[in-house]
Amino acid sequence: MEIKTVGVVGCGLMGSGIAQVCAQAGYSVVVREINDEFLKAGLAKIEKTIGGAVAKGKMAEADGKAVLGRIRGTTRLEDFAGCDLVIEAAIENLDEKKKVFAALDAICGPAAIFASNTSSIPIIAMAAATKRPEQFLGLHFFNPVPVMKLLEIIRTIKTSDETVAAARAFSDKIGKRSILAKDRPGFIVNLLLIPYLLDAIRAYEIGLATAEDIDNGMVLGCAHPMGPLTLLDFVGLDTTYYIANIMFDEFKDAKYAPPPLLKQMVTAGYLGKKSGRGFYDYTKG
């Protein structure tokens, strides 16, 4: 089945990026938020990024308009009825996700493929809430979605070969390189990234070095675009804490155990860039 219309559940940081790259690739996009306020903010984010690309001369004004014209915002899941692929990028809460997918199962056509952008929740737990587990997989995007070249495809023990092939073709069309992983906490990237980020917090926690020196070590010594503590602020300390806990629960391996400092910072509301304070202070611009 050819994918023509893509539905995106959630228009936050990830959902807005996913909607944007799909529209840029020529897909018709329906993006849903839970209320008008969040929807307006999400669509404004897309408009700003497209506007920035036009202003920099990286996109023709007419193309920018066409991209925005392909995106329809809604607050109703019923508007996903005509979608061939639905990508869920909503809150990381299994019960909520199961509710969304069970509702979509009744709304969407029988051939529609369902995907979740979750970074940590087992894909099979969501697939099992639908009558189409063969047409269900993980499509894990990376932040910022319009910039990062990777799409991690996660197949469960029930995902069909046809669904994986459709996901690979979709990835090619939106200009991402796809990698395929099994449905195991962390998949490929977070299995490697989370212990690294937690080790950086442990190094900082024991007073090994300043945050700047830890970050510069990896930026200047290993050519990473961001040091680990800056990356933690960028990803969100709450998000990292959440993923680490899921991985620790699954593997019971100390390397995934969130360090006390991470828990303290999350409790204190130091969530990183989005809250104005993480390992660095963003309140002064």
Asked whether the beta carbons of 136 and 159 are under 8 A apart, the reply is yes
Interface with ligand 3HC, residue 181, by CB under 6 A: no
Interface with ligand 3HC, residue 226, by CB under 6 A: yes
From candidates 28, 74, 143, 245, binder to ligand 3HC by CB under 6 A: 143
Interface with ligand 3HC, residue 128, by CB under 6 A: no
Beta bridge partners of 115: 87, 137
Three-state DSSP class for 248?
A: helix
Q: 148 vs 257, which CB is nearer to ligand 3HC? A: 148
Q: 81 vs 280, which CB is nearer to ligand 3HC? A: 280
Q: 146 vs 259, which CB is nearer to ligand 3HC? A: 146
**Shortest separation between residue 186's beta carbon and ligand 3HC, angstroms:** 9
From candidates 5, 24, 49, 135, binder to ligand 3HC by CB under 6 A: 49
152, two tokens: 């991690």
Interface with ligand 3HC, residue 60, by CB under 6 A: no
**Shortest separation between residue 82's beta carbon and ligand 3HC, angstroms:** 28
Nearest to 135 by CA among 100, 96, 161: 161
Interface with ligand 3HC, residue 133, by CB under 6 A: no
Interface with ligand 3HC, residue 148, by CB under 6 A: yes
Backbone angles phi, psi at 252, to 5 degrees: 50, 40
Q: Which stretch binds ligand 3HC (CB under 6 A): 71-79, 99-107, 127-135, 137-145?
A: 137-145
| Distance between CA atoms of residues 241 and 232, nearest Å | 10
Nearest to 117 by CA among 151, 160, 83: 151
Catalytic residue among 16, 116, 117, 119: 119
171, two tokens: 């990835």
Write out 199-239 in H/E/C secondary structure: HHHHHHHCCCCCHHHHHHHHHHHHCCCCCHHHHHHHHCHHH
Q: Which residues bind ligand 3HC (CB under 6 A)?
A: 49, 52, 56, 58, 119, 142-144, 146-148, 190, 225-226, 231, 235
